[in-house]
């Protein structure tokens, strides 16, 4: 019996898709028992679309603007994901807020990766370089990456795994972002590999609140 976790990865805009790439690479190396079965992008020119197709993974474009209401768009998302028997939805550079309806339909089955140590430096407007600028300005000595479940609030759901990186005196948002991104690429596939889904219950094996490295 194939007990691999079936992942559906959501991306928005024209993002790079490097986290998706890290997940695909980890799957190809057999490092995680998860398997990407579909990538759904809001935009045809997203880096993730090209990366998925190169790995023979189905990539769908679903443009929210084609739908009369956000709920219709999300209903379509749910339908496509269910058709492919997706167990776990992974947001990888997906910047749109998901509605309570969608979150409820996929409760404890949506993961996100955030480029800081939540619960600090999260919330509305905290994305991309804004996060790293805020970390540097705060004087924090450490930052990192967080994989968490998605709930109705931005960057707020239960934390699955975190990785820590130092913040150096001469860091710019770009140098810090690069150090964090390196950890994101290790962390996301690890988190997926540790989840075990029984019916609607998700269990995290060997999860520890400490840095896993």
40, 62 contact by CB (below 8 A): yes
Give catalytic status of residue 196 as yes or no.
Answer: no
Per-residue x/- mask for ligand GRF, residues 56 to 75, rule CB under 6 A? Answer: --------------------
Q: Which is nearer to ligand GRF, 184 or 192 (CB)?
A: 184
Residues 87, 159: Cα–Cα separation, whole Å: 18
75 vs 140, beta carbon nearer ligand GRF? 140
Buried-exposed string 180-210: b where 16+ CB fall within 10 A, e elsewhere: bbebbbbbbbbbbbbbeeeeeebeeeeeeee
Ramachandran region, residue 123 (left: φ > 0; alpha: ψ -120 to 50; beta: rest):
left
Q: Is position 189 an interface residue for ligand GRF (rule: CB under 6 A)?
A: no
* Total interface residues for ligand GRF by CB under 6 A: 12
Considering the complex, what minimum distance in angstroms separates the CB of residue 76 from ligand GRF? 22
Binding site for ligand GRF (CB under 6 A): 15-19, 92-93, 113-115, 181, 184
Positions marked catalytic = 114
């Amino acid at each position: 019996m194939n007990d691999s976790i079936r992942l559906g990865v959501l991306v928005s805009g024209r993002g790079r898709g490097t986290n998706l790439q890290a997940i695909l690479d980890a799957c190809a190396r057999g490092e995680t028992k998860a398997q990407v079965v579909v990538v759904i992008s809001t935009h045809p020119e997203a880096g993730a679309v090209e990366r998925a197709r190169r790995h023979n993974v189905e990539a769908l474009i679903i443009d929210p603007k084609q739908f009369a209401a956000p709920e219709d768009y999300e209903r379509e998302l749910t339908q496509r994901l269910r058709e492919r028997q997706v167990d776990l939805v992974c947001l990888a550079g997906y910047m749109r807020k998901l509605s309570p309806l969608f979150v409820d339909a996929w409760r404890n089955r949506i993961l996100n990766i955030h480029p800081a140590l939540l619960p600090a430096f999260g919330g509305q407007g905290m994305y991309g370089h804004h996060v790293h600028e805020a970390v540097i300005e705060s004087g924090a000595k450490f930052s990192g990456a967080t994989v968490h479940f998605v709930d109705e609030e931005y960057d707020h759901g239960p934390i699955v795994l975190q990785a820590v990186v130092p913040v150096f005196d001469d860091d710019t948002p770009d140098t810090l972002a690069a150090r964090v991104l390196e950890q994101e690429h290790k962390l996301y596939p690890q988190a997926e590999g540790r989840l075990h889904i029984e019916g609607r219950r998700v269990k995290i094996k060997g999860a520890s609140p400490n840095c896993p490295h």
